[in-house]
Structure 1
Amino acid sequence: MNEMKHYFEFNTNIEHLLLKTINVTNIPGTIAASAVFFLGTFLLEGTKSLMFYWTVRLQQNPLTYGQTDAKNQDLSPLFASLMIPSSLEKIKQRRLKYHVCGMLTHFFNAFLGYIIMLAVMQYNWWIFIAVLLGSGCGYFLFGAVTYSIREKYANLRVFRDTDSSHINSTYEQEPPST
C-alpha cells in the first residue's frame, strides 16, 4: 500500500493531483500545474475583494444609492443625492440581488479555497511556492481595489451595524443631554 508522504519535496513528478487520473510527470507539466494554482490563488484574493464589495453594498444606506451607482457618477453631487429608489420594493430587490451575488461569490471562494488546500497537501514545493506567490500578487492588486472601495463608501453611513443584526438610525444621533 502506498503511504501518504508528510514532507515537502522539490519533485516534478506529482501523482494523483486532485484526481486519481491526473499525474504530472515532467517539468512543463509541473510548470503548468503551478501556473494554474498561481492563477487560482490570485482569483481567490479577487473573490475576497468582491465579497467585501457585496457586503458594503448590502449594508449601504438606501438613501445613498444615487451617490454610488456607476450610471449616476456623471451627475453632480447635488443631483446624485436626489436619485433615491422609487419604492421600498426596489430597495428590497436591490438588497436581495446583493445578497445573492454575495452568496455565489462566497460559494466560489470556499470551493476555490478547498481546491487550493488540497493542492498544497500534495507536499510539492513548486505548487506551494506558486500558491504563496499567487496570494501575494493577488493581495497586492486586489488590496488596492479593496482600499478604493473602502474609500468610496467611507463617507456614506452604513444601514446595518456590522457587529450585530440590529438596524441603526440613518441620521447622526445627538449625544444625550445632561
Structure 2
Amino acid sequence: MTGHFNFHTPLNNFIFKGLNVENTSGLVVTCLVVGAMTFLLEGAKMLMMYWSVRIKQNPLTYGLTDTEDLDERDDLTASLMIPASLEQIRSRRIKYHCLGLLTHIFNLIIGYILMLAVMTYNVWITIGVIVGSGVGFFTFGVLGNKIQAKYAGMAPSIEDPSNYQINMAVPEEQHI
C-alpha cells in the first residue's frame, strides 16, 4: 500500500482479502457502491438524531407526534392521547433506545468500512466517498431540519441542578 494518493485502476485486496478490482468498469461500480454506502451513512445519522429526540420527548406530547390516524384527530384531541401508565412510557423509550442501538451499530460498521476504503489512497474511491456524503447531507439535511422543528418544544423541561450557581460575594468593608 502506498502512502500517497494515486489514480491506479487495479485494487488488490480491496477492503477484504480476495476482493480485487481489475478494470475501469469495476472501479466505477466500486465507486458507486462506496458512494451509496456513504449516502446511507448520512441517512443513518439523521435516523440516529430522530431516535435520540424521541427518547428525550416529553411523554405528554406523544399524541402530537405519533403518526397513527392523523386524519381522524385534531390538535385538541391529540393532546388528550397520553400514555396510560409509566410502563408504556418505559417500553416506548426502550424501543427507541434499541432502535438507536441498531442504528449506531450500522453507523459504526459502515464508517469503518468507508475508512478502510479511503485508506487505499485511491483518488476515485475518495471522490466517491466525498460525493456520496455531499449528496446524502443535501438530501437528509432537510429531513434533519424538519425533525428539529417538529420536536423542538417537546423535550421535558427538567432543570439541571449543576447549572445553579452560588453567589459567594464578600460584602465590601464599610469605611467610616
**What TM bracket, shorter-length normalisation?**
0.7 to 0.9
1:116 to 103, 114, 130: 114
Question: Please, what TM-score do these two structures have when normalized by structure 2?
Answer: 0.87
Q: Distance in 1 between matches of 2:8 and 2:37?
A: 21
Do 1:6 and 1:123's aligned partners in 2 also have CA atoms closer than 8 Å?
A: yes
What letter is aligned with 1:11? H
1:67 paired to 2:28: no
Q: Which runs of 5+ in 1 are unaligned?
A: 161-167, 170-178
Classify the secondary structure of the residue corresponding to 2:68.
helix
Partner of 2:95: 97
Equivalenced residues, count: 158
Partner of 2:23: 26
Q: CA deviation at 1:159?
A: 2.7
How far does the alpha carbon of each residue in 1:18-39 deviate from its partner, in whole angstroms, 9 at most, with x for none?
1110110101100010001000
Q: Distance in 2 between matches of 1:15 and 1:47?
A: 30
Percent identity reads 51
How far does the alpha carbon of each residue in 1:104-150 deviate from its partner, in whole angstroms, 9 at most, with x for none?
10000011000000000000011000000000000000111100111
Q: Distance in 1 between matches of 2:45 and 2:151?
A: 17
Moved over 2 A (4+): none
How far does the alpha carbon of each residue in 1:74-127 deviate from its partner, in whole angstroms, 9 at most, with x for none?
211000000001111010000000000001100000110000000000000110
How far does the alpha carbon of each residue in 1:46-70 deviate from its partner, in whole angstroms, 9 at most, with x for none?
0000000000000000000000001
Do 1:12 and 1:25's aligned partners in 2 also have CA atoms closer than 8 Å?
A: yes
Q: Distance in 2 between matches of 1:127 and 1:148?
A: 32
Q: Distance in 1 between matches of 2:31 and 2:13?
A: 15
- What's the Cα RMSD here? 1.1
1:132 paired to 2:126: no
Question: Please, what TM-score do these two structures have when normalized by structure 1?
Answer: 0.86
Do 1:56 and 1:153's aligned partners in 2 also have CA atoms closer than 8 Å?
A: yes
Do 1:66 and 1:72's aligned partners in 2 also have CA atoms closer than 8 Å?
A: no
What letter is aligned with 1:62? P
What letter is aligned with 1:77? D
Q: Which runs of 5+ in 2 are unaligned?
A: 160-176
